Chain A
């Protein structure tokens, strides 16, 4: 059975993440994002590709949202309220709590500031969130009888999760955005070593390898400090959630240590309210912050106060956190217009800005003018500090995750095409995992393994464990097993423990793995044993008298010297190696004696041998030895009885 993966968004680009995966007869949509760079219908994934009739409830089993960023959740109210999807939606507790804030903020920016026609209303957001089931990390959610999903910590933003989905034998992980290094308030991504048929991973930094974060943090603090020392204002456009809290932790801590008094403002209520959420969801932050909150919640910032619009042009230095992060509109743009013309001021930019936003224009070179629209243009004289605190994993992190999970196939999304091509090459050459990076609206199908449900009987298991127990007891093994050569034996001993049994398939019943005894029992039959036997003559030198016991000793010494074995068992009248038994035969009419020409009975003693079929190879070897050897009775003198017995027991 194959897993089919239809990329509706974030294929060879960043924005509107949306992947629909068909796995084991279930269809899961991972993320439902919007593209911030477009204002036309390209901003949403092309949902019509999921179902032409538009019956999304029948076409999809469930939706899982990895985190609250708009490029991952932005299209969800549109999809549920306008397109009419009513099925289950899953997201983690923080995502469910914070996503509506992001959506409402975006809606306001679009409608109130840009005067655009709204795509969905506030009520739509509320109604949409009512359909969401909140999940905890590692909680195994049984979506239906066969499909289970489970979220793992992704570290990208608060509540970000990698999603593991499993149907029957087929399993896959969709990473969403993740970060493999811990930051100031979040831990690194964590996942179990899962058996995966497919891994869909982000690849924002497909080719970048980032250095330590501390240097970048220091640089940022230095730039900010220098600016406020000179009386300048610092504008930090951020997403309200996530980076705002991270930078605030950083600044709050720095202010405390340096005893600075310059005010740190949060624009509007949004970020202040966001802090409230962060306080309640502190269990989802990094271990360090989590452990400390018994005494003081790290998100109770000491130096932070809320911002009033009248303060925009107030004299004196200050620091302002404003949304949105890419200065694509809203309050950050408003403040930017005011502050950009002064050289004293500083604007910090996030590591990644979508093309078309002011942030992107500032990043690409240092423009002196920015034409906002045909009426407005902004003089840009302020300093610009770019910080790549981006909580995405770098190329090393992606490779680490892939080699840790070693999935059977990889699909790259959420990245730039040329870089993805390079990463694909690395994944295929270094890890040997087939890799794809489909464009939007392309589908990739990968094969997936399957298993068959069987019952396993106890006696089969007992045989298996006994066999392995004996095997570990009797290392090193002696040769043989009818069909396995030496090389294979050594392999079995070293790593692979193989088991043997019989698969019993009956009509309308689950197939059963049974032992041989079970089979005979079910068939109500008796085993018909096939033995091999041969009465073999052995030449004897210096035959003085018939010393059965000593002859057996001599023979077993002969065996030991010729083949590598050490567990020949000897009793008074026979010796045994595995199923091979040899005893001295004095019966001239022995039925297993096959006369071949004249023999010199005086110098030969017959050993009657028998063995089972499984040891045939061994037995033939031993017979060969017996045929060739000439036992010298006089050697017995050197073999004192007690030594002999010691020797035997080894």
Chain B
């Protein structure tokens, strides 16, 4: 098994991307796009105040995961998608006619991912309309060296990466037809459904709690089983909780939750360069010791630690804070723009805002402006299977899963596909609260609303953490609007990583190099750690020599086992039909019973000539030793036996030759030899 980390991504919207080779198959894990790179393009919100210098004024291209373009799409066998964001780059691959892999994603991820792609395509069409639908041949002007040279340092780095290698990641956006083509190739899976690839791999998706429909994967193959652990949240206010118990028992865990990388870097800088002990000795493999007794904490204690209710409380506090901030802003007459791409977060915020408005009996219109908003909202109210317990309870009580349907009916929430539509203008009034369901400030209504509101100091912009606010907002000068950047929980918290791993009981964990500081000696435990870093291939040692298999009883009954007295074992010849099904070998008895040869076909040891003579004579065959020769050099002793008149046997330590023209005689002699020699 080999692991190549193609890109470690950044944040929820750009998850890490890996290539795994095993069982002769190539698995691509995630296919995201780096939408934050869109910041180098200038927004087209036509306003004179906007400062466009240092930005590329052209139809944007899109940047795929770092080293993905170096892989041959036709060599990929399976693609696993664990969150909607991990799917956004998929059409770039599927539009390649040589791409033939099977794509697996949960049904909910597939639906939401599709809506997000549709949204991007339709928002992008604004650029196409603005710049004209030029011939798409060759590279755009802005990719020329001269043009690139004019860019600001930060923008240049976004385009080219450190040494220009990322220039190849840029691609023109896919079309709506490409999205359709992509969706046809996706195999949607239900929660914990067992999917079989090529009867070799058995894939199962279990919820990760990060987002509605997002999941972790358990992959079983005849000789390997591993868990692909993406960013996970133990308790979520929207999505179904992280189902970590179902991931127990895998040999290998690919730990791909990099949400804490930033925290680690901060921690390290606090320490001031003095990194932990483990960090100093630069071993790539930290060997675990299976003999170490299981951690002192019992499993129940660990799960209490993992699901401690703190996360959800913290998130709720955060939400309440944001909500009150928003309300304050609205009170002062300022409008609020909430471009949040995380569906669950947006929906929760929406509910809290409307609740607070209701309790304060304030009438402030809330808008959701997105081409796919209507479908997205309808969809969220019809997937109880992927929602948290609290919302599932609503189903069983017959209440809508999310409050937005009610809000729309009460005319408190207005959903529009486009900003510039007459219907919207009729309803429009400021101050208002606007959600866009897409987070970059270059695509869709957000950029237009920003150019309208950026100079109003009472207005408020809510941004997610991880967005380069400076760069994203720099075209909108002078900015006097208030900006609140808030981080929402987006993965496993650092102090929970090792308790989680110990509860999953793997033999080996593939761990990101960047998180090495976390591996202090105190949490050395029953598993080994192997570190991977971007763009290098990690060989994962084999943990199992044998494949698992099963033997049907009717075949077993046909066997004629023989005890070997020299060793405590029995052996039997076996002939059957070998079937590989669901990652396991199965031996069936053939349709027609095939008589196993009674003769021993495989002999070992040596033939004792004296015993052979006796045995032959017992069978009534006349025989005598004709000649004995000993070659001194290699200490072999060879004996020639004449058997009646028609046959002859020549035997030495390792070999016996039967020489006769008579078939029955040959068979008889062979039978005799095998009866005095060990064999099967």
Contacts and interface: CB of A to CB of B under 8 A. Distances in A.
A binds B: yes
Interface of A: 93, 96-97, 100, 129, 134, 136-142, 150, 169, 273, 276-277, 279-283, 293-295, 297, 449-458, 461, 464, 482-484, 488, 491, 496-507, 511-513, 516, 519-520, 523, 525-536, 591-592, 594, 596, 610, 613-614, 616, 620, 623
B661 A531 contact: no
Contact of A498 (B553, B594, B654): B594
Contacts of B586: 451
Given A97-B396, A283-B383, A496-B590, A455 B659 contact: no
Nearest to B386: A136
B577 A456 contact: no
Contacts of B679: 528
B548 interface: yes
Contact of B379 (A169, A294, A623): A294
Given A453-B548, A498-B590, A533 B659 contact: yes
B403 to A, nearest CB: 13
B606 A97 contact: no
25 contacts: A96-B396, A138-B190, A276-B400, A280-B384, A283-B382, A452-B550, A452-B552, A453-B549, A454-B551, A456-B549, A457-B545, A488-B594, A499-B587, A501-B573, A506-B569, A519-B571, A523-B604, A527-B654, A531-B656, A532-B658, A532-B666, A591-B650, A594-B646, A594-B647, A594-B659
A491 B661 CA distance: 31
A507 B645 CA distance: 48
Nearest to B396: A97
B551 A591 contact: no
Contacts of B204: 140
Interface stretch (B137-145, B150-158, B355-363, B554-562): B554-562
Nearest to B196: A192
Interface stretch (B14-22, B97-105, B302-310, B595-603): B595-603
A294 B549 CA distance: 46
B126 interface: no
- Which 10 A-B pairs have CB atoms at the shortest separation, nearest pair first? A455-B546, A451-B550, A525-B604, A294-B375, A456-B549, A138-B193, A528-B603, A499-B578, A138-B190, A139-B192
Contact of A502 (B567, B574, B655): B574
Given A294-B378, A456-B585, A616 B392 contact: no
A379 B397 CA distance: 41
A139 B191 contact: yes
Given A497-B577, A513-B574, 19 more contacts: A134-B385, A139-B191, A140-B204, A277-B395, A279-B381, A294-B379, A449-B554, A452-B551, A452-B552, A454-B551, A456-B546, A482-B599, A496-B590, A499-B577, A506-B567, A520-B604, A530-B603, A532-B658, A594-B661
Contacts of B567: 506, 523
Contacts of B570: 505
B384 A93 contact: yes
Nearest to A536: B661
Interface of B: 189-194, 204, 222, 246, 374-375, 378-379, 381-385, 392, 395-396, 398, 400-401, 545-554, 556, 559, 561, 564, 566-578, 585-587, 590-592, 594-597, 599, 601-607, 640, 645-648, 650, 654-661, 663, 666-667, 670, 673-674, 677-680
Contact of B591 (A283, A449, A496, A501): A496
Contacts of B658: 530-533
Nearest to B678: A525
A11 B673 CA distance: 64
B327 to A, nearest CB: 30
A507 B563 CA distance: 11
B575 A499 contact: yes
Contacts of A592: 648, 657, 659
Residue of A138, A142, A535 with highest tally of chain B CB at under 10 A: A138
Residue of B191, B552, B554, B571 with highest tally of chain A CB at under 10 A: B571
Nearest to A507: B568
A528 B605 contact: yes
A621 B378 CA distance: 78
A594 B574 contact: no
A498 B577 contact: yes
A534 B661 contact: yes
Contacts of A169: 550
A456 B548 CA distance: 6
Contacts of B601: 613-614
A599 to B, nearest CB: 13
A607 to B, nearest CB: 12
Contacts of B596: 483
Contacts of A137: 190, 193
Contact of A129 (B396, B585, B654, B655): B396
Nearest to B606: A528
A535 B661 CA distance: 9
Contacts of B246: 142
A137 B189 CA distance: 10
B602 A516 contact: yes
Contacts of A596: 645-646
Nearest to B189: A138
Nearest to B381: A280
